[in-house]
Amino acid sequence: MELAQLRYFVAVADEGGFTRAAERLHVSQPGVSAQVKQLERELGQRLLDRSGRRVAPTEAGVAVLAYARAALAAVEGIRRTADEFSGLLRGRVALGLIPGAASAAVDAFDVVGLLGDFHEAHPQVEISLTEDTSERMLGALRRGELDLAVVGLAGEPPPGITARVVLDEPLVAVVRAGDPLVRSAVDGRVALAELRGRALIALPPGTGLRGVLERACAEAGFIARVDFEAAAPAVLARLAARGLGVAVVPRGAESAAGPGVRALRLSDPELSGRVALAWRTDGPSGPAARRLLARLRTALPAAAGRGLTSEPALAAGRAGRG
């Protein structure tokens, strides 16, 4: 019995077919089939039922599968232990980012630069990047599909998630210079209630900023009327510059719209957009992800890196950007 046979058997069981297992393992389909048949001959048991559209383990296969997984995990543990003694780090890290995080946070938290440095120091570690909404990425963290994520927060993190703030920017209402909000503003500020009935331009549902906007409007007694959505705050500001509505964005995003717009600080309550580095409270499972987390935490801005786990519910005035 060889480890390759166990690895191929587990892959076929996971993928439900020989072709998909071969693609996952980057080997030929006949090779996978031959190795699994050899394993079945050695054990004297049929491990896979090939009669249906989807290949599935037989009763014997289900029993053997648990031991096969344990054997492969043990071998990986041996390999990791030896690598740690030699200073070599291997493995895979799954990192999630809200759209625009790599560029928006560059001054305070250079994600791209940090990943580049980590890759140079540990070239054997595979890093995968995913862009998605904060809501979906927080769910993926809890399920173990992501190791780390840079997310926007619309309140406290969900149970089992720890987050440290990377950026905390005031939210502003961006409008054309002649908009009625400009005339009603006092000292460059406008009350949230002034947005009642106005066409709003915001990030999509599932993002931290959208969540805090809707929550704040609801607490003020009205439903946010979002007519236009876009994934990048800069695009929202440009839409506002064309008179399509009031864009609610983090301060600074209005610069993308050029002259002719005004950015008014939202008040009563004041709103702010928070971007945070998040991970499971019990920590990532793999050594590579744990090492990257330690590196990222070290690089967090000292003033912004507040820890958030199970704090009381945050006021609507504290929000996330993505």
Of these ranges, 77-81, 152-156, 243-247, 309-313, the one predicted with the greatest mean pLDDT is 243-247
Cα–Cα distance measured from residue 231 to residue 127, given in angstroms and rounded to the nearest whole number: 24
Cα–Cα distance measured from residue 232 to residue 270, given in angstroms and rounded to the nearest whole number: 22
Same domain, 7 and 119: no
In this prediction, residue 264 carries a pLDDT of 93
Cα–Cα distance measured from residue 151 to residue 115, given in angstroms and rounded to the nearest whole number: 17
Same domain, 101 and 240: yes
Per-residue pLDDT reduced to its tens digit, 121-152: 888 888 888 888 899 999 999 888 899 999 98
In this prediction, residue 100 carries a pLDDT of 66
* Residue that wins the pLDDT comparison between 318 and 35: 35
Cα–Cα distance measured from residue 299 to residue 309, given in angstroms and rounded to the nearest whole number: 20
Same domain, 60 and 181: no
Task: Report the share of the chain in percent with pLDDT over 70.
Answer: 88
Domain finish residue from 56, 86, 116:
86
180: preceding bond cis by omega (within 30 degrees): no
Going by their DSSP bridges, the two strands 56-57 and 91-97 should be labelled as: unpaired
Q: Cβ neighbours of residue 109 under 8 Å, at least 6 residues apart?
A: 150, 166, 167, 277, 299, 300, 301, 304
Going by their DSSP bridges, the two strands 246-250 and 161-176 should be labelled as: antiparallel
Same domain, 70 and 120: no
Q: Token pair 């289900």 is at which residue?
A: 62
- Least confident segment among 76-80, 183-187, 252-256: 76-80
In this prediction, residue 101 carries a pLDDT of 62
The enclosing domain of 151 has a CATH number of: 3.40.190.290
Per-residue pLDDT reduced to its tens digit, 168-217: 888 999 999 889 999 888 999 999 999 999 999 999 998 888 988 999 99
* Residue that wins the pLDDT comparison between 198 and 315: 198
| pLDDT confidence tier of residue 85, bands split at 50, 70 and 90 | low
Domain finish residue from 35, 61, 86:
86
Same domain, 117 and 236: yes
Domain finish residue from 41, 61, 86:
86
The enclosing domain of 21 has a CATH number of: 1.10.10.10
In this prediction, residue 193 carries a pLDDT of 93
In this prediction, residue 305 carries a pLDDT of 45
In this prediction, residue 320 carries a pLDDT of 40
* Residue that wins the pLDDT comparison between 316 and 119: 119
Same domain, 20 and 158: no
Same domain, 50 and 185: no
Same domain, 127 and 43: no
Q: 70 is in which domain, residue-wise? A: 3-86
Tell me if 295 sits within 8 A of 118, measured CB to CB. yes
Per-residue pLDDT reduced to its tens digit, 92-115: 899 998 876 655 544 567 888 888
Instruction: State how many domains the chain has.
Output: 2
| pLDDT confidence tier of residue 322, bands split at 50, 70 and 90 | low
Same domain, 93 and 223: yes
Per-residue pLDDT reduced to its tens digit, 255-311: 888 888 999 999 889 888 888 899 999 888 788 888 899 988 888 765 444 455 433
Same domain, 164 and 235: yes
Same domain, 46 and 113: no
Same domain, 79 and 99: no
